[in-house]
Copies of this chain bind each other. A is one copy, B any other.
Amino acid sequence: MLRLLRHARRHSTSSSSSAAAAAVPLTSPAFAVFGANTGVGKTLVSAGLVASLLASPSPSPSTVAYLKPLQTGFPDDSDARFVFDRAPALLRRLRLAGGGASTRLVASNHTLFPSPAVDPLPERQDTVVNYGGEEGVEEKALVCRTVYAWREPVSPHLAAEREGMPVEDEEVRWLVDRWLAEEDGGGEVWKVLETAGGVASPGPSGTLQCDLYRSSRLPAVLVGDGRLGGISSTLSAYETLLLRGYDVGSVILEDRGLSNDRFLLSYLRKRVPVHVLPPIPEDPKDDLTDWFSESSSAFSSLKDSLQSFHSRRVQRLNSMQRKSKYLLWWPFTQHDLVPVDSVTVIDSRFGENFSAYKVKDKTIVPQFDACASWWTQGPDSNLQIELARDMGYAAARYGHVMFPENVHEPALRCAELLLGGVGKDWASRVYFSDNGSTAIEIALKMAFRKYACDHGIIVDSEKDIRSEGSVHFKVLALNGSYHGDTLGAMEAQAPSAYTSFLQQPWYSGRGLFLDPPTVYIKNKSANLSLPPSIMHDQLSSCDTCFSSLTEVFCKTRDTSSAANVYVSYISQQLSQYAMSNNSEHIAALIIEPVIQGAGGMHLIDPLFQRLLVKECKNRKIPVIFDEVFTGFWRLGVESASELLGCFPDISCYAKLMTGGIVPLAATLATEPIFEAFRSDSKLTALLHGHSYTAHPMGCTAAVKAIQWYKDPSTNSNIDLDRMKLKELWDSALVNHLSSLPNVKRVVSLGTLCAIELKAEGSDAGYASLYASSLIRQLREEDNIYARPLGNVIYLMCGPCTTQDICTRQLAKVHRRLQKLN
């Protein structure tokens, strides 16, 4: 084991978090002992719990493993040694009192990485103790370990600095994961990890204890404080653990005659069991034997309540697949195609990873969230904790408050950031709503009103021109577009599987839908694909083949032959439509700039979209950018309009805006759009709203996320000179992928890397299950939680995800596709 861990240490320092994450079995109950403060008796509680576990009658754990990841003041202080020394003695005493089978305990204690300043170097300790009753012989093991040990009795962050043994968080996490994953052949194993100091005491890198161990989210035993003021510090520590997403299994504290336990019991009732220990002798010479004896019933009830906590947790996790199949109705899911054992049970999330519970193996496994939970996710693990704190604050300060005619700080700040960011240089107003779909419906209402004003269609606001049947508004949009699932948003998109009579009997497709040219990577180069309606012999290969995407986005293409071809296609389509539809007006252009997401991750030729926008602006047709998918660095820049090189009149944001934590949407507009609604009558106002419009929690999250993404001190991917993200997907790997025979095309831009598989006939299209075996392998073998769009599989990260994580996931996909060949 020692060698393995030594090796592990080297391994972990050369890579980073996700690679390191291991499957943690829930067959072994494991708890982390946290302290409400230092000096509240964490080690006494650990020792007492360990002894109580070893002493408990069958079925009792055959092995108890105790881990002290960070020890200072070593070797004078060694909590692991204390547990190693005391637990056997305690056990003997408990056994003498309780009778039962005779026991042979094999105990060990060793220290993996003492700092260079530690002197004398500790030796590994082993002992074998026999004791107990009369019947039979049980064999038990106690394995105590210290991972890092420093000499000075100060906080680990100071000791690490002073003694020249720094330790990275990832290293600690890696080792804890490995320790948790260790199985001990046969018999039940319990694991007890003792943290250092209080819940928010710094570890060697300065990361707080509660943050350092968050990735494994072990249920906590909180050792409370029985002293004066201890109610406060215990409850605050409890809240700090909640703010990291921990479950607290039990609170235990010393009775110091202040009845702190009584108050806590009442305050925490229905939430956490509270156990109370007799006063700890203050005399340092007391060997605590009597105290441990007096405490045995408290430790025994602590053990029982942890046991019951663990059983309930596992039972619940085991039941969730089945229950979900019978109570839930998933969107976009044919339930008959989802076998009950393929339901993913998500226990938590940490940064880019889900923690998924595997029912079959009873393990918790980290999985890279490759679909960024429907393209919403921005948080790395640091941002997630920051957002959690801000969410708690916003809920406590505001809950929700009504918006019209009101103002509150989060909404105002969020509006300022939007107008100074994605809306910079063009937008002047922010209209909040709940999701992409509502943001689009609002955008359409804005555009139509503006069009009507500009084209003299509304003369009298009291008269409903609809009754005359003389005016119909349509949108100009692109085939393959998608703008959301409410009817108004659907009407603005071209017919598809989503819009059939079966799905939406009210859909009629109120648009002129053009065929867009697309760009894709295949065999290491970027290629233009023209639809039949644009196909033209004027275009040579220098117009259709590019060495890189940078060329595709180059503004010099505005004078290319392709530009001519596009312009004539666009104006011909518009003129033709106008001629054949007398009462119909193209009253808005709506596009997803650069990438069509749900339509299959198609990169639309930016030149084409730029010319389309120009043409519409010439005709006074308001332009809407649907940036629900593309906004906030999804494509490597804050707004995709930077890639297109032109501005809309209206644009829509959602998804990444809140960091991916709660729903919120915004529709941004220019001042002329806003002006079209002004008058002295309420009837001309934009009468569209949702109850939670501009809800403070969403706005608070957005304020944090928008700033976090673009600040190089929090997002190391930001290239400040160009205000772009670094390339996240290794270009050599992308090129390799694009050359695989079973790959039709690749699109790699910003946080997105999409791969379309080659497929024919019924294997193609939205309903295709062609990719599903690949998806299953990615989920089960590679711990990548991917979700296909027809035959398109994709990896999507957050704006702050490290290149390292991206490369590792992409390499796995590459290997998997190679094998599939």
Contacts and interface: CB of A to CB of B under 8 A. Distances in A.
Contacts of A433: 331
B680 A316 contact: no
A121 interface: no
Given A201-B229, A428-B327, A387 B395 contact: yes
Contacts of A371: 402
B660 A400 contact: yes
Interface in A119-172: 154-155, 157-158
A554 interface: no
A243 B157 CA distance: 27
B687 A332 contact: yes
A400 B239 contact: no
B331 A198 contact: no
Q: By CB atoms of chain B within 10 A, which of A200, A445, A464, A662 has the most?
A: A662
Interface stretch (A86-94, A103-111, A500-508, A564-572): A500-508
A396 to B, nearest CB: 3
Contact of A349 (B36, B323, B401, B654): B401
A449 interface: yes
A-B CB proximity, top 8 nearest: A198-B232, A331-B689, A392-B392, A245-B397, A487-B488, A38-B229, A245-B396, A324-B407
Interface stretch (A53-61, A408-416, A733-741): A408-416
A685 interface: yes
Contacts of A448: 505
A544 interface: no
A421 to B, nearest CB: 13
A340 B678 CA distance: 15
Interface stretch (A279-287, A373-381, A609-617): A373-381
A2 interface: no
Contacts of A505: 448, 452, 466, 471-473, 587
A311 interface: no
A685 B500 CA distance: 12
A315 interface: no
Contacts of A461: 502
A593 interface: no
Interface string A780-820: 00000101000000000000000000000000000000000
A68 interface: no
A200 B236 contact: yes
A301 interface: no
A343 B691 contact: no
Interface in A474-523: 484-489, 491, 497-498, 500-508, 510
B259 A334 contact: no
Nearest to A326: B428
A491 B506 contact: yes
A396 B369 contact: no
Interface string A383-394: 011011101111
A249 interface: no
Contacts of A347: 408-409
B344 A373 contact: no
A126 to B, nearest CB: 33
A392 B388 contact: yes
A345 interface: yes
Contacts of A438: 434-435, 437-438, 485-486
A431 B766 contact: no
The oligomer's copy count stands at: 2
Given A37-B233, A231-B200, A486-B438, A379 B407 contact: no
A137 to B, nearest CB: 42
20 contacts: A201-B231, A206-B263, A239-B239, A330-B406, A336-B679, A337-B680, A342-B405, A346-B408, A347-B409, A348-B397, A349-B399, A373-B400, A387-B395, A388-B395, A400-B662, A435-B435, A458-B501, A466-B507, A488-B504, A654-B691
A97 interface: no
Contacts of A388: 392-393, 395-396, 399
A648 B502 CA distance: 22
A310 interface: no
Contact of A393 (B155, B242, B769): B242
A691 B324 contact: no
A333 interface: yes
Contacts of A766: 682-683
A404 interface: yes
A328 interface: yes
Contacts of A489: 486
A631 interface: no
A398 interface: yes
A501 to B, nearest CB: 4
A392 B242 contact: yes
B344 A405 contact: yes
A405 B428 CA distance: 41
B437 A232 contact: no
Interface stretch (A10-18, A531-539, A692-700, A717-725): A692-700
Contacts of A693: 331, 374
Q: By CB atoms of chain B within 10 A, which of A438, A587, A679 has the most?
A: A438
Given A488-B488, A503-B687, A338 B405 contact: yes
Nearest to A235: B200
Interface string A190-207: 000000011111100010
Given A323-B407, A327-B430, A374-B692, 12 more contacts: A214-B396, A245-B393, A328-B412, A331-B693, A334-B679, A374-B693, A384-B395, A461-B502, A488-B504, A503-B686, A661-B695, A662-B697
Given A199-B232, A239-B239, A374-B691, A396 B244 contact: yes
Contact of A684 (B244, B267, B334): B334
A188 B785 CA distance: 61
A317 to B, nearest CB: 9
A643 interface: no
A39 interface: yes
A332 B684 contact: no
Q: By CB atoms of chain B within 10 A, which of A320, A384, A441, A692 has the most?
A: A692
B235 A685 contact: no
Nearest to A419: B327
A578 to B, nearest CB: 18
Given A197-B232, A391-B391, A497-B687, A345 B695 contact: no
Nearest to A324: B407
Q: By CB atoms of chain B within 10 A, which of A228, A405, A505, A655 has the most?
A: A505
A690 interface: yes
A240 B239 contact: yes
A465 interface: yes
Contacts of A201: 229, 231-232
Contacts of A209: 232
Contact of A689 (B198, B208, B485): B485
Nearest to A440: B486
B419 A449 contact: no
A681 to B, nearest CB: 6
A343 B434 contact: no
Nearest to A381: B399
Contact of A685 (B206, B333, B397, B401): B333
B678 A431 contact: no
A403 interface: yes
B680 A430 contact: no
A321 interface: yes
Nearest to A232: B198
